[in-house]
Chains A and B, each alone.
Chain A
Amino acid sequence: MSSRERILGRVRRALADVPQDDMPYEQAVPRDYLREHGERSVEETVDLLAENLADYRALVHRCAPDVLPSLIAGLLTARDARSLLVPAGLDERWLAATEVTRVPDLADSSAHELDRVDSVVTACALAIAETGTIVLDGGPDQGRRRITLVPDHHICVVRVPDQVVSSVPQALERLDPARPLTWISGPSATSDIELDRVEGVHGPRTLEVVLVGGQASADVNS
């Protein structure tokens, strides 16, 4: 007998007490928990996202679409970035104001090559306000999972409010499980030494999230 049959046989014998007409899945699980916590306007949800991202030590910036290229260029300069990983499908206009050497996201780059790159800029699939989480699904503007992991500086652009959901349940219903998913809530961190939180053990030590929204800045009264 194969181990597969042995295990399945043991499971079936162990469950001899369970009646044949046991409650089906749909009825067995009550779904009376909330789809989102609290009532917020769209603006308040975006504010909550910014607040929770910052609470877990991500650096949060907000800007209008036409300011994005200069903002990104400024962030790269501030970090003295000399090389930048760029996913194949990233909006070209976002990088229009920076001269930093671009490194394409290629399948055959070695991990050592990625380790020599300073920064990475990506878009995201969505962001979750209640938990301060950005989710990447490997889309063309986000690239392979490893490019947002090995470099020490990750700039992630979130289009607000379109890409923002309130809660975990709302996020899952918009995501495709067939894609590789990475949920990021603040930069890499550990609390293993006397529970003191230290940022940046293995992932990027700096996570900068740019919330891009609204109209071009010329039209915004701020």
Chain B
Amino acid sequence: MSGTFVGMPAFPAAAHEAVRNPTLRGNLRHATHTIRAKREKAVAEVSDWAQLREAGRRIKDHTLRHLDRYLVQLEESVTAAGGTVHWAVDADEANRIVADLVKATGESEVVKVKSMATQEIGLNEALEAEGIRAYETDLAELIVQLCEDRPSHILVPAIHRNRGEIRDIFVREMGEWGRPAPEGLTDTPAELAEAARLHLREKFLRAKVGISGANFMVAETGTLVVVESEGNGRMCLTLPETLISVVGIEKIVPAWRDLEVFLQTLPRSSTAERMNPYTSMWTGTADEDGPQNFHLVLIDNGRTDTLADEVGRQALRCIRCSACLNVCPVYERAGGHAYGSVYPGPIGAILSPQLRGTASEIDASLPYASSLCGACYEVCPVAIDIPEVLVHLRERVVAGGQVTRNGNKVLLKPAKGHAAERAAMRAARWAFAHPGALRGGQRLASRTRRFHPRTLPGPGRAWSGSRDLPPVPSEPFRDWWQRTHGGKDGAK
């Protein structure tokens, strides 16, 4: 990833721009609706989906509740299998560890498997600053990297680009990074994929260092798992002499057997396939097969802070399938970039403010980037109750309270922007406690309805900027009831 999300505007401002982009909306609508329909079919093929989902939820919850134990066990098994384990508290430390490992090999370029964790920590930019060039090898990531764009979807990061744009990017940029695009390249997907194959193959064949993430790590055996489609993952995982895997500490499952759940639910939820074309599993190093040096970098980067929140910790169950993006009416219209994070959509709206805290404008706005319709919870293969966490985080933004940041308990102040909301709630509380005043106020409101403005003045302006003010009825309900039923119970 070449672009960064630093300094992004809050979600409402970014979404305001996005919904006015017809190409983006067209691409997203086509993509999300296609995957959504395919996913439903793939899920319907397995009659025990509910049981698999529940097992997945319980495995992840159990792991999180005993994460210290499983981390230590994983470290032991990876080490016993010939790997080296490194621990990184934050993005800076992880980037430094990886840069040092690459430098120790004497190489100045690396090939990369698509990985959310390395995007999250901004690894490519950090390596660039150290004079190391990182080549993204997933087709979509390659597109995003070539035009210095940002990913907009967890699974198909270049979903916002159509074939014509991709052709132009290849023709313009490939020569800058290596083998140029073939002469006379058209915009058919097959030709574009062939251009990517030729461009990347020369990089794969000479690569000495590969960098990956992992979908799962098995504590019991020390096995890492990467699921993918194109084979670029297999290239990066098996051709180089040195493999460095950067993985979030929440990606553990306790036992080998647990993979039987996730290897059924992940492909069907993400690409809507029975099984993705390639799955690689490796345990440390193997004699004369694949990289002879294997490093695992375990990253925290806000995960332990997320773990400390009893409601919010369920976000760490996420297996990054992106099913929630594809069903979300807000994501479908606002697009991935508006979320200001490598994690867009509903899961991003609860993950980013927890990993990064709610101090910035964008992070404080993310819990509101939702209609709370609940579709994301319905499709989640590990049953993360995203609406519950959204509401919880809204409360945290508005009311403040105790949270954990960088391992320390801190008291969060209530957000400034919500002073008017709090004042309104206080006023409402008082009014409901004083029925006479409420009645008087309602009558007054009804009688002056002709003079009511269509938008609110002052602090209420932002609220009414995107909503119509409800019209006040000509008569309060209580008066109507009194008039038509004479105050008696009118039932039968």
Q: Is A172 within 8 A of B235, CB to CB?
A: no
Q: Does B30 contact A (CB under 8 A)?
A: yes
> Which of B282-290, B328-336, B450-458 forms part of the interface with chain A?
B282-290
Docked-complex contact A191 and B271, CB < 8 angstroms = yes
Determine whether the beta carbon of A7 is less than 8 Å from that of B89: yes
Q: Which residue of A lies closest to B231 (CB)?
A: A203
Is B364 positioned at the interface, with any CB of A under 8 Å from its CB? no
Docked complex Cα distance between A180 and B310 (Å): 37
Residue B193 is within 8 A (CB to CB) of chain A in the complex = yes
Q: Are B193 and A203 in contact (CB under 8 A)?
A: no
How many residues on chain A are close to B (CB under 8 Å)?
74
Task: Tell whether A144 is near chain B: CB-to-CB under 8 Å.
Answer: yes
Residue of B nearest to A58 (CB): B277
Q: Which residues of B are found within 8 Å of A146, using beta-carbon distances?
A: 238-239, 289-290
Contacts of B47 in A (CB 8 A): 34, 37
- Interchain CA distance A132-B34 in the complex, whole Å: 22
Q: Find residues 11-34 in chain B having any chain A CB closer than 8 Å to their own CB.
A: 27, 30-31, 34
Chain A residues whose C-beta falls within 8 Å of the C-beta of B442 in the assembled complex: none
Contact A188 B231 (CB under 8 A): yes
| A131 surroundings in chain B (CB, below 8 A) | 274-275
The yes or no answer to B41 lying at the interface (CB within 8 A) is: no
A221: CB under 8 A from chain B? no
The segment out of A23-31, A61-69, A75-83 that lies at the interface is A23-31
Contact at A111–B68, with CB atoms within 8 Å?
Answer: no
Contacts of A185 in B (CB 8 A): 273-278
User: CB distance A202 to B55 under 8 Å?
Assistant: no
User: Is the Cβ of B238 less than 8 Å from the Cβ of A195?
Assistant: no
How distant is the Cα of A3 from the Cα of B91 in the complex, in angstroms?
A: 12
Bound complex: CA A62 to CA B258 (Å)? 33
Q: In the complex, which residue of chain B has the Cβ closest to the Cβ of A34?
A: B48
Contacts A7-B87, A185-B273, A192-B143 hold; do A15 and B289 have CB atoms under 8 A apart? Answer: no
Is the beta-carbon distance between B139 and A193 smaller than 8 angstroms? yes
Q: Is A183 a contact of B279 with CB atoms below 8 Å?
A: yes
Which chain A residues in 47-94 approach chain B with CB under 8 Å? 52, 56
Do B300 and A7 touch (CB < 8 A)? yes
Q: Which residues of A contact B158 (CB under 8 A)?
A: 192-193
Complex alpha-carbon distance, A186 and B200, angstroms: 21
Q: Once the chains are docked, how many angstroms separate the CA of A138 from the CA of B285?
A: 13
Q: Does B307 contact A (CB under 8 A)?
A: yes
Residue of A nearest to B158 (CB): A192
B5 within 8 A of A: no
Would A33 and B235 be within 8 Å (CB), given that A11-B67, A180-B289, A185-B273 are in contact?
no
Identify which of B27, B54, B140, B193 contacts A198 (C-beta below 8 A).
B193
- With an 8 A cutoff between CB atoms, is A182 at the interface? yes
Whether, in the assembled complex, A201 has its beta carbon less than 8 Å from a beta carbon of chain B, the answer is yes
Q: Is B260 an interface residue (CB 8 A)?
A: yes
Contact B263 A6 (CB under 8 A): no
- The distance from the CB of A104 to the nearest CB of chain B, in whole angstroms, is 13
User: Can you sample 11 A-B contacts with CB below 8 Å?
Assistant: A31-B55, A32-B51, A33-B48, A110-B205, A180-B280, A183-B275, A192-B139, A192-B156, A194-B162, A202-B231, A202-B235
Which residues on B are within 8 Å of A, measured CB to CB? Answer: 27, 30-31, 34-35, 45-48, 51-52, 54-55, 58-59, 61-62, 65-68, 71-72, 81, 87-89, 93, 137-140, 143, 156, 158, 162-163, 166, 189-190, 192-193, 196-197, 200-201, 204-206, 218, 221, 223, 229-232, 234-235, 237-239, 249, 254-261, 263-264, 271, 273-283, 286, 288-290, 298, 300, 304-305, 307-308, 310, 313, 404, 407
